[in-house]
Structure 1
Amino acid sequence: MSKRSDEIRNKYIQNPPEGMTADDIRHMSEDDLLDMDYFLNEDDEFGEDFPGAEGFYIF
């Protein structure tokens, strides 16, 4: 496993997402772990200061 996936795994073992347990995280494949992390953080890439972050509007 890569160092990054170990960091992610430890992060989610300490604080598992809702509906999961630390044991679930321990037994996840590296690919599943990275997919879950991406899904949980996909909106965080740009932050709240990014134009359009407040929503999508049709005028």
Structure 2
Amino acid sequence: MKPISEHELAEKLRKQYIESPPEGMTPYDIKYMSDSDLLDMDYFLHEFDDDDDFEEEDFYLF
């Protein structure tokens, strides 16, 4: 399978988020975001998706 480029991923995410924008954003906002801003937004929206067992007591600042 051919790896997907950052630009291709950003365009795929752009289409997804234009159809269903995150709370507080409009399709217009998404349409004119840079690829890197869009990828960053997606990362932060899904940062803890894989860690369903995350609890506050598991988080420590040193």
Q: Which runs of 5+ in 2 are unaligned?
A: 1-5
Q: Which runs of 5+ in 1 are unaligned?
A: none
Structure 1 residue runs of 4 or more that deviate by more than 3 Å after TM superposition:
none
2: CA distance between counterparts of 1:23 and 1:2? 19
**What's the offset of the Cα at 1:54?**
4.9
1:24 to 29, 40, 45: 29
TM-score (norm 2): 0.73
TM-score by length of 1: 0.76
Give the Å deviation of 1:20: 0.5
Count of aligned residue pairs for this structure pair = 53
Provide the alpha-carbon RMSD of the alignment: 1.9
Report the identity percentage: 45
